[in-house]
Amino acid sequence: MGEACRAYRHHLLRWNVSFYNESPTASVFPTPVIGMLGLIEDLRHVTGARFRSAGDVIMLIGRTEGHIGGSEYLALEHGQTTGDAPPIDLEFEKKVQRACLEGIASGYIRSAHDCSEGGLACSGRVLHA
C-alpha cells in the first residue's frame, strides 16, 4: 500500500486491514479499508460505471496475463477461494490510469469500471446491476 501511495504521490487518510474476522460460526475474508480524499477539478469529468447508451463499445485497458487467483470468477465459477492476486507494475498502472483520465476528459470514455473482481466477465455483471 505504501509503495502504491509513493508511486501515485498520494497520502492515505486512514487504512486498516483486518485479518482476523472470525466468529464461532463463520469467517470473513481479510477486509482492507482505505480512506482517501481527492479533488475533482471539473464536474463534467465525473464518470460513473453504468453504460450510457445502447451500442456503447466495451474496451479493456491494461494487461491480461491469465491470473485468476483470489478472483470473484474463481469463487463463482469454480467454488475456490485460493491463490494470490496478480503482481502489479505500478509504473504501467499509472500509464493506464492516465490514459483513462485523458479518455474521460476528451469525451471518448463515457463510463468506466475496474475489473478487480473477476475480470471483464464479472465487471459486466456489475455494470448492469
- Give the DSSP per-residue string, 66-97: ---TT-HHHHHHH----SPPPP--HHHHHHHH
User: Could you give the C-alpha distances from 107 to 10, 44, 100, 115, in angstroms and in order?
Assistant: 26, 10, 11, 21
| H helix or E strand, kind and range, residue 103 | helix 90-106
Nearest to 36 by CA among 4, 14, 3: 14
pTM of this structure: 0.72
**37-89: per-residue pLDDT in tens?**
778 889 989 998 888 888 888 888 888 787 888 777 788 888 888 888 788 89
Looking at the chain, the whole-number percentage of residues with pLDDT higher than 70 is 80
Which domains can be identified in the chain, with CATH numbers?
Answer: 1-38 (no CATH), 43-129 (3.90.650.10)
